[in-house]
Structure 1
Amino acid sequence: MKNVTTTLCVSALTLAFATEAMATEWNVSLWGKRRAFTEHIHKLAELVEEKTDGEFTMNISYGGLSKNTENLDGISIFAFEMAQFCAGYHPDKNRAITVLELPFMGVNTLEEELAVSNAVYAHPAVAEEMEQWNAKLLMTTPMPQYNLVGTGDPRDTLESFDGMRVRATGGIGRAFEAVGAVPTSMTASEVYQAMEAGVIDTASFAQHAHLSFGTINEADWWTANLNPGTVNCPVVVSIDAYDMLSDDERAALDSSVPEAIDHYLANYGELLDRWDSVLEEKGVEKVTISDEELARFKEVGGDPIQQAWIDENEAQGIPAQELYDLVLSTLEETRGSN
């Protein structure tokens, strides 16, 4: 009887270890704190866990795995399985997708941003460049056009931008530089302290980030319609980790992306709906830039920077003109279908 009992116990332990070994857990590297910017990742994790009956889970970490500027590097060495990054943090590592960060491309809505990002992500040159980092683009993080919050007197003309110390990355930073501002590409988590200390006068963010990183609490004013561009922040997975998934796990992951994005869009839409009340609550003046000044800004900080990006990247073997045209044609198709 003792031998039978021992055998049963060993069998039970073996089964338990085998079950545990079959479970898949991914580490996901984010930064800051949970916010509208990361809601699709939480929804994705929830859906995947449901579809696999808890056999595929995601451990979401905010800053515990890597710096935000090093998430792509972490993916490349398999330090974790999934991560989010922003192209403007290291444009030399992800040149092709920086077409989505060019200023004054005319993207107006989250849905349009989603459409152009998906089109660019599907381009073979983009996938090839990401493969150099062992990264597979899983989904985008559609954000509205960036706008400024600032201290002191409102800046609503190109002349008032001259000498302005602004936190701005990527193409937006180049646009401000073209009109005499002094951009710095510090990471999002550093911006509040820099603004509080007077190191910068203004910060360029989407609405969720002005809230999450506290810049709205230092602001005297906010530009309602400057809309110089936005930052593109993909969610990527390790190619090795993706290939190691079972067919069912891979299907659960891939099929959950559209629903996760829908959840993100609905959640972010709610934030945009209440933005005016946030400004009123915090005593922040809403500044509207005139059409004349916007046209001047685009002329100086838009068209030349777009062409320079095309020329620079074509010289490096990136099909830049093709990617640029893809964004514009996708915008046209998206508006036509609506």
Structure 2
Amino acid sequence: MKTVYARVVAAALISSVATGALATEWNASTWGKRRAFTENLEKLAELVAEKTNGEFTINISYGGLSKNTENLDGISIGAFEIAQFCAGYHADKNRAITVLELPFLGVETLEQEVAVSNAVYSHPAVAEEMAQWNAKMLMTSPMPQYNLVGTGDARSSLDSFDGMRVRATGGLGEAFAAVGAVPTSVTSSEAYQAMESGVVDTVAFAPHAHLSFGTINEADWWTANLNPGTVNCPVVVNIDAYESLTDAEREALDSSVPEAIEFYVANYGELLQRWDSVLAEKEVEKVMISEDELARFAEVAGPIHTQWIEENSARGLPAQELFDLVGATLEAAKSGN
């Protein structure tokens, strides 16, 4: 009986291979919990499964496969097929896309953030750098401008930022340092504990993250219009896994990206509309920074752009070209072209 059973199983496997019926199952690594930031991944998985009648599925893991700071490393060794990460977690591994994390670039909407991210992701220098990690850019996870939540007395001027301990990564951290703050790059998952324990006075996040990671629950105030910049968090695929897909599977994946981003942006827009009611419910003071102080902040942070260009040009990146690409793309997006 065992011999007969083995033959039946083997015959079924051979038949499945012959007819191309073996399903493709991918794993995607992200962190935290399902939230606005991960809806692009969730929608992508849903669409891919629909378009392939369940023959190509993506299982999303919230921290079970890797630490958020090690997702790019996991992609490089093929530990999973898709991963989400943020450039500021390891700028030395993805220098080209850190141009998108420079402060005061002038991005005003999620749609503009998508436009500039797509332009930079399509640049050959980015593809070359990602290929070193066996990674291919798939899509962005666009986030609005970051703002601060803080404890104690509200900070509404640059002078009040002096000595402020702030959770901020990448270019945002550099911008706050330029006005005398003390940035720390603890991960998003560690931000609440850092704030609760007094390791930091303030945390810079997009609204969804203040909700998801609980920092809003510790907050006494929120800067409604500081808008110094944001972080850039792409979704990448393992190149070997991508190339091993059938033409139909690859088409299902690629064609689902614009739909996933559209869904993400619409969903995030609903969250932003509810944000004021969240602040009121939690009795968090809304702080408005004066236009003069905002202009001073942008002026003080301005040299960070020049420094980024000089440092990364010295490392062999077309830094000026990448920076100009962001500006030109943003100008076109704002003019509706």
The two structures share one fold, judged by TM-score above 0.5: yes
Write the letter of the residue equivalent to 2:183. P
Determine if the alignment matches structure 1 residue 15 to structure 2 residue 15: no
- Which residue in 2 is equivalent to 1:258? 258
- Which residue in 2 is equivalent to 1:198? 198
Write the letter of the residue equivalent to 1:309. W
Deviations 1:217-272 (A, max 9, x none): 00000000000000000000000000010010000000000100011011000000
Write the letter of the residue equivalent to 2:200. I
- Which residue in 1 is equivalent to 2:305? 306
- Which residue in 2 is equivalent to 1:220? 220
- Which residue in 1 is equivalent to 2:249? 249
- Which residue in 1 is equivalent to 2:135? 135
Equivalent residue runs for 1:163-312 within 5 Å: 163-301=163-301, 303-312=302-311
Aligned CA RMSD, in angstroms, stands at: 1.5
Residue 204 of structure 2 aligns to a residue in which SS?
Answer: strand
Structure 2: distance between partners of 1:200 and 1:11: 63
Equivalent residue runs for 1:45-64 within 5 Å: 45-64=45-64
TM-score normalised by L of structure 1: 0.96
TM-score normalised by L of structure 2: 0.96
Write the letter of the residue equivalent to 2:305. Q
Residue 229 of structure 1 aligns to a residue in which SS?
Answer: coil
State which drifts further: 153-162 or 13-22. 13-22
Residue 50 of structure 2 aligns to a residue in which SS?
Answer: helix
Residue 22 of structure 1 aligns to a residue in which SS?
Answer: coil
Structure 2: distance between partners of 1:19 and 1:158: 66
State which drifts further: 19-28 or 62-71. 19-28
Structure 2: distance between partners of 1:140 and 1:172: 19
Write the letter of the residue equivalent to 1:251. E
Residue 119 of structure 1 aligns to a residue in which SS?
Answer: helix
Structure 2: distance between partners of 1:46 and 1:112: 25
Q: Offset at 1:336?
A: 1.3
Write the letter of the residue equivalent to 2:334. R
Q: Offset at 1:335?
A: 1.2
Structure 1: distance between partners of 2:148 and 2:11: 59
Write the letter of the residue equivalent to 2:93. K
Deviations 1:23-60 (A, max 9, x none): 11101111000000000101000100111111110111
Equivalent residue runs for 1:95-106 within 5 Å: 95-106=95-106
- Which residue in 1 is equivalent to 2:316? 317
Residue 236 of structure 1 aligns to a residue in which SS?
Answer: strand
Structure 2: distance between partners of 1:216 and 1:67: 23
Equivalent residue runs for 1:60-139 within 5 Å: 60-139=60-139
Change (3 A) 1:18 1:140: farther
Write the letter of the residue equivalent to 2:88. G
Structure 2: distance between partners of 1:38 and 1:272: 16
Q: Offset at 1:96?
A: 0.3
Q: Offset at 1:11?
A: 4.2
Structure 2: distance between partners of 1:306 and 1:335: 21
Determine if the alignment matches structure 1 residue 36 to structure 2 residue 36: yes
Q: Offset at 1:19?
A: 3.7
Q: Offset at 1:337?
A: 1.4
Write the letter of the residue equivalent to 1:304. P
Which consecutive unaligned segments of at least 5 residues does structure 2 have? none
Residue 60 of structure 1 aligns to a residue in which SS?
Answer: strand
Determine if the alignment matches structure 1 residue 149 to structure 2 residue 149: yes
Write the letter of the residue equivalent to 1:194. A
Structure 2: distance between partners of 1:245 and 1:13: 23
